[in-house]
Amino acid sequence: MATIGEITLSAEGFDAVIFDCDGTLVNSMPYHFEAWCEALALYGAGNIFKEDVFYAMGGRPTKDIVVELNDEYGLKLDPESVAFAKREAFLTKLDRIEVIDEVAAFAQSLRGKLPMAIATGGSRLVIEKTLQAVNVSDVFDEVVTADDVTVGKPAPEIFLKAAELLGVAPERCLVLEDAPAGVMAAQLAGMTVISIPAPLDFADK
């Protein structure tokens, strides 16, 4: 069980709700970090990505993070290759992922009442497999991933795309997000954001 403790979630006054996936709907961030470390180790850079930096970069597309790591450490890592290795490493951990109970319950309570979307910095393959692993694939009307936009979070494109697909004006959308880049992206899209804290079972470790 993954929980964020007591938090008030209400969609009153909104016409649609958009959810981030990793760290917001599912408790997957610790396993994404493990996958990053394994992937970078394959290319001789296993110790460069510190955990606090990883969390600060949460929500951003994998390839963008590789580019930044190259700039920061003077490396020449191939973004495509590292992203592939990271994806493959993460997919081996799907059986360890759990929904964040309060957020999943909120989504279930809105089912059939308001249109809902996922807007995530993850790739479509990984996100679809993640949603399937925790049995929530059929809850959401639309899923927008890093593969569907030109510029990822913190740019607002992914949220604007989700609103467009849902047929709702951005200012009428409520967003649930855990990462700074995602919060900024939603705000730039003109949406109201609820910041989701880290799951207690991880934050207390």
- Cis amide prior to 156 (ω within 30 degrees): no
Asked if 24 and 55 sit in the same domain, the reply is no
In a domain, 1, yes or no: no
pLDDT at res. 118 = 98
Query: pLDDT tens across 142-173, in order?
Result: 999 999 999 999 999 999 999 999 999 999 99
How many structural domains does the chain have? 2
Query: pLDDT tens across 179-191, in order?
Result: 999 999 999 999 9
Query: pLDDT tens across 87-108, in order?
Result: 999 999 999 999 999 999 999 9
Coil, strand or helix at 113: coil
Instruction: Return the CATH number at 107.
Output: 3.40.50.1000
The residue out of 68, 94, 120 marking a domain boundary is: 94
Phi, psi of 100 (to 5 degrees): -85, 115
Instruction: Label residue 149 left, alpha or beta by phi (over 0 means left) and psi (-120 to 50 means alpha).
Output: beta
The residue out of 79, 94, 109 marking a domain boundary is: 94
The residue out of 49, 66, 94 marking a domain boundary is: 94
Q: Which of 20, 22, 64, 178 is catalytic?
A: 20
Asked if 72 and 22 sit in the same domain, the reply is no
Tokens of 15: 């016409």
Asked if 23 and 38 sit in the same domain, the reply is no
Asked if 138 and 184 sit in the same domain, the reply is yes
Coil, strand or helix at 151: coil
- d(CA 81, CA 127) in angstroms, rounded, equals 19
Instruction: Return the CATH number at 87.
Output: 1.10.150
**Domain of 41, in residue numbers:** 30-94
Cβ 21 vs Cβ 118: under 8 Å: yes
Asked if 69 and 155 sit in the same domain, the reply is no
Phi, psi of 199 (to 5 degrees): -55, 140
In a domain, 9, yes or no: no
Which residue spans within 90-202 are E strands per DSSP?
A: 116-119, 142-144, 173-177, 192-195
What is the pTM (predicted TM-score) of this model? 0.89
Q: Is 20 a catalytic residue?
A: yes
In a domain, 38, yes or no: yes
Phi, psi of 8 (to 5 degrees): -90, 120
